Amino acid sequence: MSPHAPSRRSVANAGWGCRELGDFARLMPRRKRFTWLSPGSLLASRNDWLARRFGDPTDAMRQAWLRRLDEYERTGRPSPGMDLRTRVVDRFAGRERISIAMLGDPGEGDASQYTVVPVLQKVAGDTDLAVLCSDVIYPAGGVRAYADRFYRPYADYPGPIYGLPGNHGWYDGLTGFMTTFCGAPPDAGAPDVPGPRAGLTGALRRLLWRRAPKATVRDVADMRRYRDAESQQAVQPGPYCAIDAGPVRLVLIDTGMSGEVDAEQGEWLRAVSAPSDRPKILLTGTPIYSYGELRPSPIAGGGDVNEIVTDPAHHYVAVIGGDDHNYQRYPVHLSDGRTLLYLVNGGGGAYLSATHHIPDVDRLAPACREEDFRCYPLRGDSLAHFSRRFDRLLGFGRGLLTISPEDATTMMAERIGITPPRTGTPPEQISARARRAEKRVFPLRTRGTAPAHNLTSVLFDSDTPPMFKSFLRLDATAEEIVIDCWAATGCLEHERDPVLEDRMRARPGPDGRWCWTSETPGRAVA
């Protein structure tokens, strides 16, 4: 297979001018398209709002779930390939090489998720395992929701699939996640834990709190028929765990609804990070670098996740987070001379998070510079995409508010003050109409608070190519680690010959430090 060059090379490789819709459409369930604008979706997500105002029970519930798993292990059949005492999966530990597919925020169950499936099978169907990072199911978990959002789309993926929950996975008390990934009985329900607040606020939270939808053992058995091969089975020791994957260790953390790591999990993270010099990769539900910012990832009781991963004694080489629904790459140069690769990997199936509001990354210098940064979609493609949606929904489809990808490429370079990532329209040739459209479309709010944490992206979600979805493939040996970002545009030609949007390669130096190099157009990162 000869992959297409990245979208930095041409508008065609971004999916503009798509000639034929991909075959993904025939894989989808026949049901109404998922939308965040329906009252049902917003109502099902109400626990996020309630937790922020009346107290968040997530930490107590997580600990209760882990005690349940320990009890299942003592009274039932032990699960091979994992250690509940250390929360480590060791079934892949003896491999000399490993390949892993990583999908972030996949679970809408409509075209935005299923458009990834043919590309996944094409370029990562031979991987040893897959990991779903952050929001596995939208809008609010539930065991039965996994049928069309997990089991069906990945029915033909031959390997085992592991997961880590995002905030949406906690809106049902984590029942769907624990049943699917950790082997918990589906009819047991979420643990009943005391609320974090008493009095009137506690009573209001208990009254309004969304309880997990009920499910039966039969429901789960019916869903699992999609993925019933022995090679597809996997059980993990909790919502946070480590996976010893041959030459690397994956460390999966659960940041709950608030983005904070509880104290017990923080102690585990320090312990699981310390014992070996095996290169480690952190997978988290909330990215540490995103939208040109370093974001806190606090640990209850003191400390921050980034303090752990940047400690040279822990040998982390990369951090991969979901939650923002696009791809972003930040090779961060640390003060001790190492480079740690931070990636946003949230393009696996949810609505697209706009990238045209990402500022000049030189604001992070000297830790990271704009010329080392990559995002997908490109900022100009993001502006062009949302201008079309804006025109269709609010401009009556007259074309007065649309901006071509060529015009948008130039406009974004002007606005941010950077060199265009690909050739755009000469500035003097951009029409006055397009300039007016940019002034209307660009100021639309693209960052905010839950439940619509990216308001413009939610309002102008689209299932029409180009769809700008993406996922990662990681290949590792003792000598090198390669991380590819593969694009899924929704176009048939890109299902047959997928677009390799970004590639980073790391090799250990003479001093044992891993050094990352970019193999995507632009200056090499070393």
CB 253 within 8 A of CB 259: no
Residue matched to tokens 């519930």: 61
CA distances, 159 to each of 99, 277, 441 (Å): 11, 27, 43
Tokens of 265: 């999990």
For the chain, the 3-state helix, strand and coil shares in percent, each to the nearest 5, are 35, 20, 45
For the chain, which domains are there?
11-353+465-518 (3.60.21.10), 383-459 (no CATH)
Q: Report the DSSP beta bridge partners of residue 244.
A: 249
pLDDT in tens, the chain (526 residues): 668 899 999 999 999 999 899 999 899 988 767 887 788 888 888 998 888 888 899 999 999 999 999 887 777 766 777 887 899 999 999 999 999 999 999 989 999 999 999 999 999 999 999 999 999 999 998 999 999 999 999 999 999 999 999 999 999 999 999 999 999 998 888 998 887 777 888 788 888 988 888 899 999 999 999 999 999 999 999 999 999 999 999 999 999 999 999 999 999 999 999 978 899 999 999 999 999 999 999 999 999 999 999 999 999 999 999 999 999 999 999 999 999 999 999 999 999 999 998 999 999 999 999 999 999 999 999 999 999 988 888 888 899 999 999 999 999 999 999 999 999 999 999 999 999 999 988 775 544 333 334 566 777 777 889 999 999 999 999 999 999 999 999 999 999 999 999 999 999 998 889 999 999 987 544 3
Provide the whole-model pTM: 0.95
- Going by C-alpha positions, the residue among 26, 29, 48 that lies closest to residue 208 is 48
